[in-house]
Amino acid sequence: MTSDACKVACFITPHGYGHAARASAVMTAIHERAPDVQFEIFTAVPPFLFRETLGGDFKCHHVMTDVGLFQKTPLEEDLDRTVEHLDAFLPFDAGLVKGLAETVTASRCRLVLCDIAPLGIAVAREAGVPSVLMENFTWDWIYEGYLEECREIQRHIDYLKSFFTRADYHIQTAPVCDPGSADLTTGPVAREPRMLKEEIRGALKIPKDARAVLISMGGVPARYEMPKQGNAPSDLFFIMPGTTETIRREDNFIMLPHQSGFYHPDLIRASDAVVTKTGYSTLAETYHTGLPIGYLSRDGFRESPILERFIQDSMAGLRLSEKSFENGSWIESVDELLAISSPSDVSPNGAGQVARFVMDLLR
């Protein structure tokens, strides 16, 4: 295969960073198997997230590929704003679809991979190339959870469902929210760490014999009280990405911006436990690292109970209340969290499974 004949277009929802992380894991796995494959990425996700995972083997096209779900905080949805933007975005603008299809054709992409951005399916059909939908949920399924409080969202559910069912190939990645007819079902898809635990701890200046907890809330800015230093053991360090504009350190608290130079899977590997909302990518990366996870369930979000059940069945997990997280009192449960033993039976990384499937299509 030559590079001209082996380009893949990737349409990725900009909802948080989790879907971009999952798609990046798959692109990395494809590139490891076929270094001549290049990627044309269509999304509104900041390019740095792909750059830190893929290096330079991609071109990023800034385009709003999806509305997804607007959020007020990492744990609270903004339904009114979501519907407002859905009304403006759907149905897809014919000129937008045609223009993107021309870009896909001009780039010689042979396939369109969609991480729950149905616009990519529409573009693939216009361009006459196969589409591959990769998901653990689709937006029509998510929106169905809001029908009681917002009946007008039904028309958007119907429209989006019509596109999701038109994908030429369908991949579901565990934990799957709505199991159905799929060409492939995989284990959790995660980016792999690159550095050894002691290397990343050394870079973070965490003592070798100390304990460390990563607090990660995805791509949505979060405001919460840090555990009081007086309540935290002196040998316990907190790594907090996405909480500041520059790298800052206050006592045992290491606060990092999103673009910190530290790779998120490496931060997980450097830790002894992870505290996070129930979101796909951090859950999957924690699962493959085998660490205990303290999780905050998003009660209004339809995906959360499925992810929570997966944690309970397949991971070492401890449910934390939103109130205890916000006021920092969850620190009282940190010893319990760190003491939980992880299950020994871990599924293979689904990124490799998806990569093999896509490579077969390209051949």
DSSP string, 214-232: EEE-TTS----PPPPGGGS
Q: Evaluate whether residue 345 is within a structural domain.
A: no
Q: What is the largest CA-CA distance in the chain?
A: 62
| Mean pLDDT, the chain, integer | 92
Q: Are 82 and 17 part of one and the same domain?
A: yes
Q: Are 233 and 85 part of one and the same domain?
A: no
What residue numbers bound the domain in which 92 lies? 7-187+350-362
Starting at the edge strand found earlier in the chain, the sheet holding 169-173 runs 58-62, 38-43, 7-12, 109-115, 131-135, 169-173, 184-186
Q: Evaluate whether residue 192 is within a structural domain.
A: no
Q: Evaluate whether residue 173 is within a structural domain.
A: yes
Q: What is the CATH number of the domain that holds 78?
A: 3.40.50.2000
Q: Are 30 and 100 part of one and the same domain?
A: yes
Q: Cis omega before residue 91 (within 30°)?
A: yes
Q: Are 26 and 140 part of one and the same domain?
A: yes
Q: Are 202 and 183 part of one and the same domain?
A: no
Q: Evaluate whether residue 298 is within a structural domain.
A: yes
- What are the tens digits of pLDDT across the range 260-278? 999 999 999 999 999 998 8
Residue 157 confidence (pLDDT): 98
Three-state SS at 128: coil
Q: Are 181 and 64 part of one and the same domain?
A: yes
Q: Which residues pair with 299 in a beta bridge?
A: none
Q: Which of 147-161, 163-177, 320-334 has the lowest mean pLDDT?
A: 320-334
154: part of which helix (H) or strand (E)?
helix 154-164
pLDDT beyond 50 at 1: no
Q: Evaluate whether residue 1 is within a structural domain.
A: no
Q: Are 306 and 250 part of one and the same domain?
A: yes
Distance CA 291, CA 199 (A): 18
For residue 16, is it left (φ>0), alpha (ψ between -120 and 50) or beta? left
Q: Evaluate whether residue 131 is within a structural domain.
A: yes
Q: Are 59 and 158 part of one and the same domain?
A: yes
Tokens of 122: 């529409």
Tally of domains within the chain: 2
Distance CA 13, CA 68 (A): 7
Q: Are 215 and 134 part of one and the same domain?
A: no
Q: Are 140 and 213 part of one and the same domain?
A: no
Nearest to 164 by CA among 145, 140, 144: 140
Question: What number is the average pLDDT over the span 253-265?
Answer: 92
Three-state SS at 90: coil
- What are the tens digits of pLDDT across the range 50-70? 999 997 779 999 999 999 999
Q: Evaluate whether residue 99 is within a structural domain.
A: yes
Distance CA 205, CA 300 (A): 38
Q: Are 174 and 79 part of one and the same domain?
A: yes
Nearest to 105 by CA among 132, 129, 131, 133: 129
Residue 264 confidence (pLDDT): 95
Q: Are 59 and 180 part of one and the same domain?
A: yes
- What are the tens digits of pLDDT across the range 202-227? 999 999 899 999 999 865 555 555 65
* Beta carbons of 134 and 115 less than 8 angstroms apart: yes
Q: Evaluate whether residue 344 is within a structural domain.
A: no
Q: Phi then psi for 114, rounded to 5 degrees?
A: -115, 120
**2 pLDDT band (50/70/90 cuts)?**
very low
